Amino acid sequence: MKKIWIAVIFCGLLFLYLLGLRLDFFRKETPYSAPPIDKQNISVKETWMNIYQHDRKIGYAHRSFIPIDKGYRLADSAYLRINTMGMVQDVRVRTEGNLNSDLTLASFDFYLQSGLFHFKAQGKVTGKTLSVFIDKQKIEIPIDKNLYLTSGIVDAAFDSGLKPNQTKTFLVFDPASMGKRPVRIALIGNESLDIMGRRQNTKKISIDFMGASQTAWIAEDGTVVQEEGFMGILLKRVPKKEALNGLAVASQDLTKIVSAASNVPIKQQDQLKQLRLQITGTNDKILLNGGRQTYTPPILTILREELPDPSEVLASEKDLPERHLQNAPPLIQDEHPKIKNKVAEIVSPDDSPLTKAQKLVSWIYKNIDKRPVLSIPNALQTLENRMGDCNEHAVLLAAMARAADIPAQIEAGLVYMNGGFYYHAWNVLYLGRWITADSLMGQMPADVTHIRFIRGGADRQIDLVGVIGKVKIHILEQL
């Protein structure tokens, strides 16, 4: 049974991210500041929605908007039952925010929980700076325009007076990745829907997030009554009792929904020296060319690396890319005592960088239980809980390698398994040159079926959104 967990759960995070467009932060690309709103015209608002996937209920969402003394209090939460690789998990996401009288953000709390894993971020705006606190770490993000918090990016479009055939662009800030990405919204037209037992006139809006399309319907009072899009997900407004009643069933297996089929089986993939294939459905954000990959559209060739001689690694230390040992992302805690102490137990000061890397890959492969996790990858939590999928393995190896003075980055893309290509994450370690390493599979270098799409942290991995479910692969040659 161990083999089945050698797979991707990355698509689950992307699923949560896209659903999180209802829960995250945005700021408009052009200057905008809403005037103070007369609280006498605003009452407490509360909305409940069922979350469906292909007509099966997999969860619910709840939003409240309450006037307070100095502005407004906004709370948005979602409960989901998600199936990844046959394992069903309950996921809870919650965002709470205090807004100023002009709806700009004053402070927020963000929380995500799945099984033993949880992620929490808090933030506060002071002047032109957003201070974010994650696991006792403080990150300061400069903001040159007003920052807003909303439970749905479509609310922003409605409030800004979107006109027919008009498109507006918003920048979404994600507290999990500390990244910002543009979202384009256009008013398609008017449509009548059956909502909560009666016919309602709505405005239909299209949402384009990095190539992934969604649609939302807004009632005349500005309430979002229906949303649909990615992975067959539909959110529909219902009474509170209906949202809370009826145990949600699990979603369809997310990893299978977004996998890419292979035209031929790949045998003994760990023995292959070269893989040549035709790939379509990507975009200009995907990093197909470089390193061991050579891309001449639409043909991609991947060569297995040779491990450098230990003396070669030592001789190249003068070229060490120091910038990759500085300013680690918040959840790659390479300076934390628990991670540094564990690394000191695994490697010896006299080990060469290559030997250190091999020991770390082997230790993680043998000691971290391979289980799907739907949360924000966190190196320290992974070490403490001793479990995780490819994302947890990748962030832990990045942290442990950096603690051992080995520059490390995360790569994500596709890997071959059980007749198809699944979304996956692994590492590259600098050993005189960048060498791939997959601690979930216990490979260094990683086999040639690892197709790199991006390199970088969670803010870069979101670039995969635009290609998920669109990639087609045709194997031409395997040597």
C-alpha span between 459 and 412 (Å, rounded): 12
Higher pLDDT, 87 or 74: 74
pLDDT per position as a tens digit, 214-247: 888 988 887 889 988 777 888 999 999 999 987 6
Q: Which residue has the tokens 């070269």?
A: 274
Lowest-confidence segment of 19-33, 149-163, 285-299, 404-418 by average pLDDT: 19-33
CA distance 310 to 313: 5
Query: Is the pLDDT reported for residue 303 higher than 50?
Result: yes
Buried b (16+ CB within 10 A) or exposed e, 292-327: bbebeeeebbbbbbeebeeeebeeeeeeeeeebbee
What pLDDT is recorded for position 29? 42
Dist. CA 132–CA 177, nearest whole Å: 12
Checking if the pLDDT of 26 tops 50, the result is: no
Q: What pLDDT was estimated at residue 468?
A: 80
List, in order, residues 6 or more apart from 311 with CB less than 8 Å away: none
User: What is the average pLDDT score of the chain?
Assistant: 82
pLDDT tens profile 120-159: 889 899 998 889 888 777 888 888 777 776 555 665 666 6
pLDDT classification of 16: cutoffs 50, 70, 90: very low
Residue 126: beta bridge partners? 129
Q: Element (H or E) spanning 201, and its range?
A: strand 198-209
Residue 175: both structure tokens together: 């507290």
Report the DSSP beta bridge partners of residue 125: 130
For the entire predicted model, the pTM comes to 0.79
Share of the chain above pLDDT 70, in %: 81
Closest CA to 75 of 52, 36, 109, 105: 109
C-beta of residue 83 within 8 angstroms of C-beta of residue 62: no
Q: Cβ distance 429 to 443 under 8 Å?
A: no
Query: Greatest CA span in the chain, whole angstroms?
Result: 75
The interaxial angle of helices 337-346 and 353-367, nearest 10 deg, is: 110
Rg (CA), the chain: 23
Q: Within a 13 Å sphere around the CA of 311, how many CA atoms are in the beta-carbon half?
A: 0
Higher pLDDT, 389 or 297: 297
Pairwise pLDDT comparison (474 vs 208), residue with the higher score:
474
Report the range of poorest mean pLDDT among 39-43, 174-178, 322-326: 39-43
Q: Is the pLDDT of residue 455 over 90?
A: yes
Half-sphere exposure of residue 473: CA atoms within 13 angstroms, side-chain side: 29
